[in-house]
Amino acid sequence: MGARVESLGWSPVKGTTWHQEHSLDLTIDGVPGDRLWSPITPDLTCVKATDVPQLAGVRVEVENLPSEGQALFDGAEQTIRYYDRTFPGLVFDGAVAQRLSEAAGRQLLLARTSASRGFIWSSPVSVLLRSELDGLPTDTGRYRPNVVIDDRDAPLLLAPGELVLVGEAVLQVERELDRCLVINHDPLTGRKDANLLKHLRTGALLGFGCRVVSPGRISVSDDCARVVGRAGLEPATQGL
């Protein structure tokens, strides 16, 4: 049997519980709605998942997020800082922000960016190959990929520049993805239950950042295959 989609996921709020889906409709910008929202500090700085990994245990449903009319600052977009980048975004308080604050043990607000790709540091779609999980926990939600491909029977051996057909969509690998301390935490409770980073093999970064070359629907059990031909991308490494 060849490579197939094993699971699909995304999260409306960066750093919170990863939502598993049976299918996703990829656009040029990636997964619609993926991490359009982020917890922020009162000084309008995105909260890093490594600082509050316990937020992985907070599940946020889209229907519970605040409406545009509830935005602070009279509904005007503010400049949200994320490391050395800035994103335009509306700022909110309310029930979801209070839940996040309780989980984090400090005051947090919530921001929704108007940037088309959300609060995503790297490429719009992250792909994890099951062949890279040898000897590591297989609850793939802890690695927070959009697409998990089970390629154990037919390893894809992806690299920057490669094209891969996933269901109806074609993705192009832009970079390998570093993994941070979040993978040491249970994906449902947020509690630390492992120490995995030191167990990663040299060259096994547990994921690839991809751009969408051809949009389309992808579903669990869809076939996946490398596409003949590749573009001349320079290898890069970037975290999620």
Torsion of CA 32, 37, 38, 39, to 10 degrees: -150
Which of residues 187 and 21 earns the better pLDDT score? 21
pLDDT value for 201: 56
Say how far apart CA 132 and CA 187 lie, in whole Å: 19
pLDDT bin (cut points 50, 70, 90) of residue 240 is very low
pLDDT, average across residues 70-87: 94
Answer for the pair 80, 86: CB distance below 8 angstroms, yes or no.
yes
Which of residues 14 and 232 earns the better pLDDT score? 14
Return the half-sphere exposure (C-beta side, CA atoms, 13 A cut-off) of residue 33: 13
pLDDT bin (cut points 50, 70, 90) of residue 103 is very high
Instruction: Tell me the pLDDT tens digit for each residue of 208-236.
Output: 999 999 999 999 999 999 887 655 444 33
* CA 238 vs CA 59, 120, 180: distances in Å: 26, 11, 11
DSSP annotation string for 33-79: TTT-EEEE-TTSBBPPTTT-GGGGG----GGGSPPGGG-SGGG--EE
Q: Which amino acid is at 150?
A: D
**Strand 237-239 and strand 169-178: pairing?**
parallel
Q: Which amino acid is at 176?
A: E
Which of residues 159 and 179 earns the better pLDDT score? 159
Answer for the pair 12, 35: CB distance below 8 angstroms, yes or no.
yes
Retrieve residue 85's tokens. Answer: 């980048």
pLDDT bin (cut points 50, 70, 90) of residue 77 is very high
pLDDT, average across residues 5-17: 94
Place of tokens 């005007």: 76
The DSSP call for residue 124 is S
Say how far apart CA 95 and CA 112 lie, in whole Å: 15
Query: What is the model's pTM?
Result: 0.87
Retrieve residue 202's tokens. Answer: 């040299």
Q: Which amino acid is at 221?
A: S
pLDDT value for 70: 97
